[in-house]
Amino acid sequence: MAKGREAEILKHDPFLQQYEKVSGKVKENSRNLINILIGVGVAVALIVIAWLIYSRRVSNAAESLAEAYRVNDATVANPIPPDVKGYVFTTQDEKHRKAYEAFTKAATDYSSYNGEIGRYYAAAHQLYFEPEKAEATLKELAGKNSGIGLQAQMALAGRYEAAGKFDEAIATYQKLVSNPGELSVFLLKLKLARSFEGANKPKEAADLYFELASNEELRTTGIGTEAISRLTVIDPSRVEKLPEVKAQPGIGGVTNPPIKVG
């Protein structure tokens, strides 16, 4: 059979036509599959790259804040002891300035992670050398509905107290007492009592000191001790009215007699 005739027969062979049809679809599907796989590979690569960048930035932000805390916890001594580890400063002023710079850098470089907390600590240190600027920052942060916002309010109240603005301090402490969040209500009341003293309102101060000193759980703490001490100065007659401390078990099962603080 002539070659031309064979070619003509193969051209019309139904099996060959089916093979070519299927083969064409396979090739087309293979190309589509390859394109899909390439697209998926690119997407995965981009996700991995983005995750690595994010992780690196989070790590850097954490380290930046940790570095600021190391300055915050630095030792102040003059002369500097030879065996002290970590940061050491010869004056409190130097420490406050360096800590301010470190927290400001942490807040500025990584504002998405350290913004509020960095600015708060920076302002807390700035109070010692630029109180007016620090006060402005604390006022801004005090408006935040967060734990940092409450901390800023307390720091702001302390600033008012130190500046002799006792009415502002009282108003701020009273606001915090009514909504303390995670802050200690007892500490806030102690600070409020101090502000009442500063504002020449001894009765209000004595009422708070008496309340704190009457709390059995606080009696032996720093808060309770200061409350009793101040109450002794402001209104000593009320010290005798403090409730008795409950008996404490003695050695060998013997019970100690009730004692009265006075």
Q: Which helix (H) or strand (E) holds 75?
A: strand 75-76
| Structure token pair of residue 39 | 């697209």
Q: What distances in angstroms separate CA 3 from CA 9, 17, 234, one per listed residue?
A: 10, 19, 125
CA atoms of 203 and 205, how far apart (whole Å): 5
Tell me the two tokens of residue 190.
Answer: 């102690």
Instruction: Return per-residue pLDDT of the chain as tens, 262 residues.
Output: 555 555 555 455 565 455 555 566 656 666 666 767 676 666 666 565 555 555 676 788 889 899 999 999 999 998 888 887 888 999 999 999 999 999 999 999 988 888 899 999 999 999 999 999 999 999 999 999 999 999 999 999 999 999 999 999 999 999 999 999 999 999 999 999 999 999 999 999 999 999 999 999 998 899 999 999 999 999 999 998 998 876 555 443 333 333 333 3
Tell the residue number behind the tokens 């004595």, with chain if given: 206
CA 208, 211, 213, 219 dihedral sign is negative
Backbone angles phi, psi at 206, to 5 degrees: -65, -40
Contacts of 89 (CB under 8 A, 6+ apart): 74, 75, 76, 95, 98
